[in-house]
Amino acid sequence: MNAKRWVAILTVLLSCSWSLAAEDWQGFFPARTVSEIFTNGVLEGVADFNGDGDLDILVRNSFGDLGLLLLGDGKGRFSAGPIFGTGVFLVEGGFAQGAFALGDFNRDGMSDYAVGGIIVPSNAKLERVRVALGRGDGTFLNREIWSGLGYLRGVAAGDFNQDNLEDLAVTMGSAEPGAPQGVLVFLGRGDGTFDPPRLSPTALVGHGAPIVADFTGDLVEDLVLNGSGSNVLAGDGQGGFAAFASVPLGGANVVMGADLDGDGAQDLVTGNSIGHSVSVLLGHGDGSFEPAQAYDVGNSVTALATADFDSDGATDIAVAFDPNFGFAIQLGYGDGSFMPDRRFEGGGRSVAVGDFDKKKGPDVATLQVGVDPDLAQVLIHRNRGLEDQQ
């Protein structure tokens, strides 16, 4: 039997196994409210912030200046920690995602974060970037690493000069004379401090956090920006970036990267308001992508996350809608294509994923707004697992 026939048979068998796993997946238990928080906040990140081995959730308010840790107990329950200041604001209380990145910037094994935004609401042109170093008890030591004129668009963490230390990329767009336009790169020293920023000028800066991955296949981290034009920026391995290619993203609300077809090349997922769809763009590994394959989800998409929810080895997509239209899961076949979405009630707008109860796979956190005019609720949707796990 020749190799091509073996590949064809293997593909059929794998497709059958993925289909059976999808049929056996039981979805989520009814949502549980774990905390009341800021109105119109955002679920920024999931990590173990207090060193107890259980996943926690960091939440920010819509103005971006206040944060809150929801501390997990490993059983799907959470307790709210004290409210803390982030030291930055978002322009006109805009949606908070995009100017925030998790990392371990001082290599102490504790979860840190970096955040960017304006210093005072009355001056939208004066920006700052801060790093909050986790102490391992749910509190942070804050450090400002940059301030200046400009319009900050997004923050992302990565190793941009291949020294195994975490760096920061901050996209800046400005019409102000002397203000940076492009990507500011802060090379990390491994102790929570950073070298002075170096600017890679670009015509496009996009909006939201740049997507960090090796898109060009040279084992160097690159960036994809959410915007039209030369939005694939190739890294030079020394902390610099240059326009490399264009990938049409169709005015997406949100973009994220993942390997959706298991070929080792990074792909893109976009959540769209126009057309109410999720689009998948499979990467070739050379900086180019297949044309977008759109999946209708019926509502405007505000947030995305990826995980293997049905334990079949294929990457799935969690989709959040705004406002309060619940969320959807698109189960993947493992070849970059997806089944029709399955809708679940409870929350929306923002989505975070983690195994919060350490049982049957990734769980989902969403945000329910409008229940009280001054409060929002964080809902946890626990994974029910496969039928034979019940």
Q: Best-predicted range by mean pLDDT among 36-45, 120-129, 256-265, 320-329?
A: 256-265
Q: Best-predicted range by mean pLDDT among 114-118, 164-168, 204-208?
A: 164-168
Please report which helix (H) or strand (E) contains residue 222, including its range. Answer: strand 222-224
- Residue 224 is predicted with a pLDDT of 96
Query: CA 240 from chain center: how many Å?
Result: 23
Q: How confident is the model at residue 92 (pLDDT cuts 50, 70, 90)?
A: very low
SS3 389: helix
Q: How confident is the model at residue 374 (pLDDT cuts 50, 70, 90)?
A: low
- Residue 180 is predicted with a pLDDT of 85
- Residue 53 is predicted with a pLDDT of 96
Evaluate whether 84 touches 66 at the Cβ level (below 8 Å).
yes
- Residue 94 is predicted with a pLDDT of 42
- Residue 371 is predicted with a pLDDT of 60
Phi, psi of 279 (to 5 degrees): -115, 140
Q: Tens of pLDDT along 166-203?
A: 999 999 887 677 788 899 999 999 999 999 999 999 88
Tell me the mean pLDDT in the region 78-100: 76
Evaluate whether 287 touches 264 at the Cβ level (below 8 Å).
no
- pTM score, two decimals? 0.90
SS3 111: coil
What distance in Å separates the CA atoms of residue 247 and residue 265, rounded to the nearest whole number? 15
For the record, the structure tokens of 166 come out as 């975490």
What distance in Å separates the CA atoms of residue 320 and residue 365, rounded to the nearest whole number? 10
DSSP secondary structure letter of residue 241 = E
What is the arrangement of strands in the sheet containing 112-120, beginning at the earlier edge strand? Answer: 100-103, 112-120, 123-134, 140-149
Tell me the mean pLDDT in the region 294-299: 93
Asked whether residue 3 carries a pLDDT value surpassing 70, the answer given is: no
- Residue 388 is predicted with a pLDDT of 56
Asked whether residue 376 carries a pLDDT value surpassing 70, the answer given is: yes
- Residue 387 is predicted with a pLDDT of 66
Q: Which of 2-11, 47-56, 255-264, 357-366 is least confident?
A: 2-11
